[in-house]
Amino acid sequence: MSAYLFDWINLLGRWVHMITGIAWIGASFYFVWLDNHLEAPKENADSDKGVSGEIWSVHGGGFYHAQKYQVAPPKLPETLHWFKWEAYTTWISGMFLMALMYWYGAEIYLIDTGVADISRPLAIAIGIAVIALGWFGYNWLCESKIGSSERNFALIVLVVLTALAFFLCQIFSGRGAYMHYGAVLGTIMVGNVFFVIIPGQKDLVKAKAEGRSPNPVHGIRGKQRSVHNTYFTLPVLFVMISNHYALTYGHQYNWLILIAITLIGALIRIYFVARHKGKASLLPIYIAAVLLVAVIAIAAPRAKTSAAANAGDNAEVTMAAATAIIQERCSSCHASAPTHAGFQAAPNGIVFDTEQDIIRHAGAINQQSVLTNVMPIGNLTGMTDAERDLIGRWFQQLGTTQ
């Protein structure tokens, strides 16, 4: 596949994923908001018809009157709108991108020999297994006695997700680990829709059409899974954008940062869900803020002491020496005409063709190749620790001369 065609497929896949993701999350957030703002019906006739709650709203120059039935209306309408394809298309497009970027391009984006020297087939097999087992394990927890206790379930899920994040970060590149963690959560979310929520809704419609009482367990299970989905949403959105920020996935404690962000996202949703119902405690927001400050402090870049500095070697690193390393190890991708087969153009438009280019991006070079070690990506060009030390010393000396 040519790099040009690959870029177009990647771009269009991301566009579809973003559009359908917005539609799914928007609908999910709206119905959570709607459920928590319903008021008792004002008209006795509505109560007699089985209406349990209603709400009036205004949007786009029009008034809307939404009503929710305790079970179902006396007569089903001819047209009934279902919300499912947003979820399905988001997952399908997301897995397409996973296969395209992290499995087809495993040597570039998934495998980091500095983390674990594993083969491409093994890396892909682990990725698929983790995603599948994530859903089956989660579903088993929900259907077990653990699922009947909201607090116990949340604690168990936190422990399991922590173990998952740690495991993935010991097997894959930081970027690949984060994406697979997000894929596990996203698969759980769409699994809830496909296997639990939609079948329950179909049974409700069928029961009404057949004139029998629907099984109440479907409503209970559907509500539980919808609540879980809303708490997973913000962590999944974070993972979707995290590949642009090596300060998280490239950190020594990347797994801990990932779990902290997961907690922060869940706490924010806990607050807003409670706020929809009325006055809400700000405690979840305070805890989320403390965690966020802690993450920022932990992830803050710290200068590394090189082996040469420990040996007392403070010799000046010349521009020519730094340029030679950067052009040898980085310019196969970061050039006006990349020679790496996987890139049609330089990533993010950053090129190192001249010394002026290198000086202009010196901060990013130090951040990516010295402080986080995420570049060269997958260390495909084999940059050594000694070379990283030299670049770090060059950057520090550059700072003192500017």
DSSP for 274-318 reads HHHTSS--SHHHHHHHHHHHHHHHHHS--PPPPHHHHTT--PPPP
Say whether pLDDT at 173 is over 70. Answer: yes
**Boundary of a domain, candidates 264, 299, 334:** 299
Closest CA to 186 of 104, 263, 131: 131
The whole domain housing 368 covers 307-401
The pLDDT, as a whole number, for residue 189 is 98
Looking at the DSSP assignment, which residues form a beta bridge with residue 53? Answer: 68
In this prediction, residue 156 has a pLDDT band, given cuts at 50, 70 and 90, of very high
Q: Are residues 139 and 103 in the same domain?
A: yes
H or E stretch covering 78: none
Report pLDDT for 305: 55
- Specify the pLDDT at position 314: 65
CB count, 10 Å around CB of 353?
14
Q: Which helix (H) or strand (E) holds 66?
A: strand 62-69
Among the listed ranges 118-132, 229-243, 304-318, 344-358, which one has the minimum average pLDDT value?
A: 304-318
pLDDT for 313 equals 58
Residue 19 belongs to a domain: no
Q: Residue 143, Cβ neighbours under 10 Å: how many?
A: 12
Give the separation between CA 157 and CA 224, rounded to whole angstroms. Answer: 14
With respect to residue 53, please indicate whether it lies within any of the assigned structural domains: no
Structure-model confidence comparison of residues 204 and 287, the more confident one = 287
**pLDDT at position 232:** 97
Average pLDDT, the chain: 91
Residues 348 and 270 in one domain: no
299, 322, 347 — which closes off a domain? Answer: 299
Among 16-25, 84-93, 140-149, 328-337, whose mean pLDDT is lowest?
328-337
Whether residues 260 and 154 share a domain: the answer is yes
Band of residue 149 on the pLDDT scale cut at 50, 70, 90: very high
Query: Which of residues 7 and 236 earns the better pLDDT score?
Result: 236
The per-residue pLDDT for 194 is 97
- Exposure pattern of 298-314 as b/e (b: 16+ CB <10 Å)? ebeeeebebebeeeeee
Angle, helix 254-276 to helix 283-299, in steps of 10 degrees: 160
Coil, helix or strand for 219?
helix
Burial degree of 207 (CB within 10 A; 0-12, 13-18, 19+): middle
Dist. CA 375–CA 24, nearest whole Å: 34
Q: In terms of domains, do 135 and 160 share one?
A: yes
pLDDT above 70: percentage of residues in the chain: 96
pLDDT tens profile 200-238:
999 989 998 888 888 888 888 998 999 999 999 999 999
Q: Are residues 242 and 205 in the same domain?
A: yes
Per DSSP, helices labelled H in 44-98 are 44-48, 85-97
- Whole-number pLDDT of residue 239: 96
* Residue 59 lies inside a defined structural domain of this protein: no
- Report CA torsion sign: 142, 145, 147, 151: negative
Residue 101 sits in the same domain as residue 198? yes
376 prior amide bond cis, ω within 30: yes
Grade residue 150 by pLDDT with cuts at 50, 70 and 90. Answer: very high
Report how many domains make up the chain: 2
| pLDDT number for residue 211 | 86
Average pLDDT value for residue range 288-307 = 83
The pLDDT of residue 306 is above 70: no
Query: Is position 358 within any domain?
Result: yes
DSSP SS3 for 117: coil
Residue 179 forms part of a structural domain = yes
φ/ψ region of 378 (left if φ > 0, alpha if ψ in -120 to 50, else beta) reads left
Residue 119 has pLDDT above 90, yes or no: yes
In a domain, 89, yes or no: yes
- What is the pLDDT averaged over residues 34-50? 92
Do 313 and 248 share a domain, yes or no?
Answer: no
pLDDT in the model for residue 348 = 79
Sequence letter at residue 150 = E
Of 63, 47, 65, 45, nearest to 55 by C-alpha is 65
**Residue 72: inside a domain:** no
- Last residue of a domain, which of 299, 318, 341? 299
Say if residue 259 is in the same domain as residue 375: no
| Average pLDDT of span 165-192 | 97
Are 318 and 287 within one domain?
no
170 with 235, same domain: the answer is yes
Q: What is the mean pLDDT of residues 87-111?
A: 95
Indicate if 96 and 221 belong to the same structural domain: yes
| Sign of the torsion angle spanned by Cα atoms 202, 208, 212, 215 | positive
Model pTM score: 0.87
Q: For residue 66, tell me if it sits in a domain.
A: no
Same domain, 177 and 97: yes
